Amino acid sequence: MPRYIDQHKMGSITPEMLHKMQNEPRDEFGILHHEIFYNKEDDKVWCVVDAPDKESVRKHHTKAGVEVEWVHEIESTLD
């Protein structure tokens, strides 16, 4: 499955919420969190997810009330 990285504001999302999301199973949009990075000072979150496509990434975040600023398909040197 393709891997994507997205960026959005942290807003009211807490580090505890991000840790919980990290371990959730694949959702109805096919999203599985690979890793989540955040910077509270800059109000930014970067999600690395396995997903069927970019639109699924956007739908996943929209359901959570989060507006994605951008989404890019990526590849890893670890795969």
Average pLDDT of the segment spanning 59-72: 96
Check the CA dihedral 45-73-70-60 and report its sign.
negative
CA dist list (Å): 42 to 7, 19, 32, 49, 56: 12, 18, 25, 21, 26
The amino acid that residue 69 corresponds to is: E
Q: Where are the domains of the chain?
A: 3-65
If pLDDT is split at 50, 70 and 90, which confidence band does 78 have?
Answer: confident
List, for residues 3-56, the tens digit of each pLDDT value. Answer: 999 999 999 999 999 999 999 999 999 999 999 999 999 999 999 999 999 999
The fold adopted by the segment(s) 3-65 is Alpha-Beta Plaits (3.30.70)
pTM of the complete model? 0.92
pLDDT at 79 over 80: no
